[in-house]
Amino acid sequence: MSVNLRSAPFTPGARVIGLGSSQPQRVVTNDELAEHIETNDEWIRERVGIISRRIADPDTPLVEFAADAGSKAIADAGLSPSDVDTIIVATCTMPNPIPNAAAQVGHRIGLTAPGAFDMNAACAGFCYALGMASDLVRAGSSEHVLVIGAEKLSHWVDWQDRSTCIIFADGAGAMVVGPATTAEETGIGPLVWGSAGDLYPTIRILDEPGESGKIYQEGQTVFRWATTQIDPIALRAVERAGLALEDIDVFVPHQANLRIVDAVAKRLHREGAREDMRVARDIVHSGNTSSASIPLAIDHMRAAGQISRGDVMLLVGFGAGLSYAGQVVICP
- Smallest separation, CB 226 to ligand UT7 (Å): 5
Q: Which is nearer to ligand UT7, 127 or 166 (CB)?
A: 166
Q: Which is nearer to ligand UT7, 191 or 203 (CB)?
A: 203
Active-site residue, from 120, 165, 254, 257: 254
**Whether the Cβ atoms of residue 53 and residue 292 lie closer than 8 Å to each other:** no
- Smallest separation, CB 163 to ligand UT7 (Å): 4
Q: Is 289 in the site for ligand UT7 (CB under 6 A)?
A: no
Stretch that binds ligand UT7, among 61-69, 179-187, 238-246, 256-264 (CB under 6 A): 256-264
Distance CA 55, CA 255 (A): 16
Q: Is 257 in the site for ligand UT7 (CB under 6 A)?
A: yes
**Residue type for 230, please?**
I
Q: How far is CA 211 from the centre of its chain?
A: 29
- Smallest separation, CB 157 to ligand UT7 (Å): 12
Distance CA 56, CA 170 (A): 6
Q: Is 214 in the site for ligand UT7 (CB under 6 A)?
A: no
How many beta carbons lie within 10 A of that of residue 84, not counting itself? Answer: 27
Distance CA 148, CA 88 (A): 6
- Smallest separation, CB 161 to ligand UT7 (Å): 9
Q: Is 124 in the site for ligand UT7 (CB under 6 A)?
A: no
4 is annotated as an active-site residue: no
Distance CA 110, CA 106 (A): 6
Q: Is 117 in the site for ligand UT7 (CB under 6 A)?
A: no
Closest to 145 (Cα-Cα) out of 182, 174, 107, 185: 174
Q: Which is nearer to ligand UT7, 162 or 236 (CB)?
A: 162
**Residue number with the shortest CB distance to ligand UT7?**
219
List, in order, residues 6 or more apart from 108 with CB less than 8 Å away: 63, 64, 67
Mark residue 147 as left, alpha or beta (left: phi above 0; alpha: psi -120 to 50; beta: remaining): beta
Q: Is 21 in the site for ligand UT7 (CB under 6 A)?
A: no
Q: How far is CA 118 from the centre of its chain?
A: 13
Active-site residue, from 30, 92, 100, 123: 123
Q: How far is CA 9 from the centre of its chain?
A: 29
254 is annotated as an active-site residue: yes
Q: Which is nearer to ligand UT7, 48 or 157 (CB)?
A: 48
- Smallest separation, CB 46 to ligand UT7 (Å): 9
Q: Which is nearer to ligand UT7, 21 or 86 (CB)?
A: 21
Report H helices in the chain.
30-34, 41-47, 62-76, 101-109, 125-139, 219-240, 258-270, 283-286, 293-303
Q: Which is nearer to ligand UT7, 115 or 219 (CB)?
A: 219
127 is annotated as an active-site residue: no
Q: Is 163 in the site for ligand UT7 (CB under 6 A)?
A: yes
Stretch that binds ligand UT7, among 61-69, 79-87, 150-158, 159-167 (CB under 6 A): 159-167
Closest to 18 (Cα-Cα) out of 133, 182, 250, 177: 177
State which of positions 33-72 bind ligand UT7 (CB under 6 A).
39, 43, 47-48
Residues with catalytic function: 123, 254, 288
